Chain A
Amino acid sequence: GQQLNQSPQSMFIQEGEDVSMNCTSSSIFNTWLWYKQDPGEGPVLLIALYKAGELTSNGRLTAQFGITRKDSFLNISASIPSDVGIYFCAGPEGGGYQKVTFGTGTKLQVIP
């Protein structure tokens, strides 16, 4: 199956700082998804991207669909303590999006 590699694997930042993380694939994706997993819970969708080059925001979060269609980026501005969690990129495979592959995750810790 397709593999999605995320970097960095983990990061510690000060509250108020901006954060950048990325996701790369060995294959082309037609849709990129970014999820967040709070401790002890299941992931929740943050942003969905459907077109190469697309830039989409959700509050302080901004994600981009790479023009090669093999990568995507997530930025968080002015981080706050509740941003703590694991961020996953994901991509659906198959014409009907039957299989959704998740990346390796980026664990974010925010120091107040």
Chain B
Amino acid sequence: NAGVTQTPKFRILKIGQSMTLQCTQDMNHNYMYWYRQDPGMGLKLIYYSVGAGITDKGEVPNGYNVSRSTTEDFPLRLELAAPSQTSVYFCASSYPLSGELFFGEGSRLTVL
């Protein structure tokens, strides 16, 4: 049982480049989330989705976009990467009415 799978695990981008972080889950969870974690800091919510076709902004959405075309997949798009987006990105999923989030292993992004 794979759970939540994120790719890539590591990536270095140049300023101004774009990329997509992939996230897929095989638990049939309705809710999915993207968080970022800066060094020594907590998790900040970027975007979340309560089901296919429905997404909403979290605390720090600027510079990111998401889509949710299927229940399983929730990719995060970075447009025009900036050094401030250097962080570890975590994707998570959960059932509705449950606070138990299942996290992926994270994607470490460096923007130089």
Contact = CB atoms under 8 A, between A and B. Distances in A.
A45 to B, nearest CB: 5
Contacts of A45: 99-101
B42 A99 contact: no
Contact of B42 (A1, A91, A105): A105
A100 B101 contact: yes
Nearest to B95: A97
Nearest to B100: A45
B35 A102 contact: yes
Interface stretch (B13-21, B72-80, B102-110): B102-110
B43 A1 contact: no
Contacts, number: 70
Contact of B56 (A91, A98, A104, A105): A98
A42 B103 contact: yes
Contact of B96 (A6, A97, A104): A97
B27 interface: no
Nearest to B58: A99
A98 B104 CA distance: 18
Interface in A27-49: 31, 33, 35, 40-45, 48
Interface in A75-112: 88, 90-92, 96-105, 107
Given A48-B100, A100-B99, A88 B50 contact: no
18 contacts: A1-B58, A6-B42, A31-B99, A43-B43, A48-B100, A88-B42, A97-B96, A97-B97, A98-B50, A99-B58, A100-B33, A100-B94, A100-B99, A100-B101, A101-B59, A102-B35, A102-B44, A102-B45
10 tightest A-B contacts by CB? A42-B103, A102-B43, A33-B99, A104-B42, A92-B99, A45-B100, A105-B42, A102-B42, A1-B59, A42-B90
Interface of B: 4, 31, 33, 35, 40-45, 48, 50, 56, 58-59, 90, 92, 94, 96-101, 103-106
